[in-house]
Amino acid sequence: MRQLPRFLTWAALAAPVFFLLAAGDLALRSREALQEAKRYEFWRDNPAAKADWLNNAGVGRQPGTGREAVLRTAEKEFLMSESSAKMAYIWYKTAAEDFRLPFNPWAGEARKRLPAALAAWRAELAADNIKAEPWMTE
């Protein structure tokens, strides 16, 4: 039997390692997206907590001058005005669909929470008298 060239041996060893690392990366990204979704879901149910976080520990606390301060203020204003229900749905959808793997528990949990998050966002739109077709919110 002929011996495989050295580079083929390394390639055969490196391929499974690469795929395992890629799967781990996707799982960690899914976990992070799920945590973001839960934070926005909490803020959806507790708007005062969102304002408190943004005022005390969030975006607006870092000192700065000039352009940096203006950008941080603009980001804070954007986060305050953005719908927490919408952001929770977007993060759940990201965790469930963009980072899914067969044995990823975080993507599975996000998939389970996705319909309730979508319903909450649609209810928020309806409460604000904003007409949105189903295709607009998916």
Encode pLDDT of 68-97 as tens digits.
Answer: 888 888 888 898 999 999 999 999 999 999
pLDDT for 111 beyond 90:
yes
pLDDT at residue 25, rounded to an integer: 87
3-state DSSP of the chain: CCCCCHHHHHHHHHHHHHHHHHHHHHHHHHHHHHHHHHHHHHHHHCHHHHHHHHHHCCHHHCCCCCHHHHHHHHHHHHHHHCCHHHHHHHHHHHHHHHCCCCCCHHHHHHHHHHHHHHHHHHHHHHHCCCCCCHHHHC
Q: 0.85 cut: is pTM over it?
A: no
Q: What is the mean pLDDT of the chain?
A: 87
Min mean pLDDT across 4-13, 102-111, 114-123 is at: 4-13
Q: Tens digits of per-residue pLDDT, 20-57?
A: 888 888 888 999 999 999 999 999 999 999 988 888 86
pLDDT at residue 60, rounded to an integer: 52
